[in-house]
Amino acid sequence: MRRLRVFVRSFGCTANLADGEVLKGCLAQAGYRIEDCIETADIVVYNTCAVKGPTENRILNVLKQVPPGKRLVIAGCLPLINYQRLCEEVPFFDGVVGPAAAQGIIDVVEQVSNGRKTVALEQAAEAMPSLVLPRVRLNALVGIVPINYGCLGQCAYCCVVFARGRLRSYSIHKIVERVEKDLSSGVQELWVTSQDTACYGIDLGTDLAVLLKALCKVEGDFRIRVGMMTPNMAENILEDLIQAYKSRKIFKFIHLPVQSGDDVVLKSMHRPYSADDFRLVVDSFRDSFPRITLATDIICGFPGETREAFKRSLRLIEEIKPDIVNISKFFPRPRTSAATMTKDFVPTSEIKDRSRAMTKLARRVSSERNRRWLGWTGRVLVDEAGTIPGSWIGRNFAYKPVVIKKNSRQDLIGETLRVKVIRVYRTYLQATLVG
């Protein structure tokens, strides 16, 4: 009997990518053949994202383009965030599961393959799959490690809580067990991920700093990239967190989304910190790690954001000079309190103008930050091939992407190389090999 062929594609955040690796692993272990392209598949599984309105629109367009004759299973956050729209615009789907479906995908795909339409969303927002399930990695060198699902926030604009639920943390023992398994299979780079890494362990009586120190004690030559953390939660454990970051095993990289530089807007967003709190966390990390890479997020045009409030966001970015600024235009999301603030909505044209202004500033600031690396000499871990043949991308201690051009067919993936930065660009550094 011919094995059924399944195509799995994931969208969105690192946590969703981790879920997608498990979907592939569980299906492969169950005997399904994992395909690299949709054309050769019998069943298509799209692991979706719907954190932003434009993202949801794009995902729905992708779903509508599934070739006739293919069975379609929709996984991830979209079904729980906007199931009604999904049913209205993609009524031909064959199966639906939520995020972190894990081995539950096997039953759904089996049902779908037998012609039965299946909806499996019960308790999806409380799911907490085993950390040692099989997986098919997107990158053989990178182990994506979910440390918790859900968060403790009540952000006015965020719909992810309806899909991912409230905080559920894995024990340190279980996470260490997963990391040891990853390292034994050749992983050299660990991505510690969740909706908010800084709230890790509050439900267990521990915290992120304790976890990171435990992970750094695991034997082996590897690096850890810590995922997004909210400023208020990071501030609560700041001293211990910085102490944990002193390990050479942790990339000097921090993703700290501020969202606005105006305290009134932050309060309206239900973000329980001030711009000064954000400054404190940033300054504390930079005092200890001057070359740390800082990523942040900004929402332009949140309801009630005045022009003066937006200028405060611009001034904050100009002052702090993050290496990376992820910019979003406000878009009302289903069931969020921000969606009800219609009287305070900023005109779309004004939101676009603010987004353009913020983007222009962010690009300039990113270029300025990268210029500090010109002439730097040090080691990078090569973790992927470049888009140009003969080029490779590595990461230095601050998780800066470093492009190395080498005119040979030698595979450098997994190599740690000594390089010198000879050119800098807004989004990456270019380096040459040194002795």
d(CA 34, CA 41): 8
Fold of 5-126: Rossmann fold (3.40.50)
Cβ atoms 141, 189 nearer than 8 A: yes
Residue 255 and residue 229 in contact, taking contact as beta carbons nearer than 8 Å: yes
377-433 is classed CATH 2.40.50.140: yes
Q: How many CB atoms lie within 10 A of CB 334?
A: 15
Q: 405-426: b or e for each residue (b if 16 or more CB lie within 10 Å)? A: eeeeeeebbeeebebebeebee
pLDDT at position 410 is 77
- Which of 144, 21, 53, 149 has the alpha carbon at shortest distance from 10? 21
Tokens read off for 187: 């992983």
pTM score, two decimals? 0.95
**Per-residue pLDDT at 435:** 74
CATH topology of domain 142-371: pyruvate-formate lyase- activating enzyme (3.80.30)
- pLDDT tens digits for 234-257? 999 999 999 999 999 999 999 999
Write the burial class of residue 314 (CB in 10 Å: 0-12 exposed, 13-18 middle, 19+ buried). Answer: middle
Please tell me the predicted confidence (pLDDT) of residue 408: 62
d(CA 422, CA 434) in angstroms, rounded, equals 11
Query: Residue 127 has what pLDDT?
Result: 86
The predicted pLDDT at position 1 comes to 56
Pairing mode of beta strands 118-120, 95-97: parallel
Residue spans of beta strands (DSSP E) within 234-323: 253-255, 293-300
Q: Where are the domains of the chain?
A: 5-126, 142-371, 377-433
Give pLDDT, residue 384: 93
- What is d(CA 260, CA 263) in angstroms, rounded to the nearest whole number? 8
Residues of the chain with pLDDT under 50: none
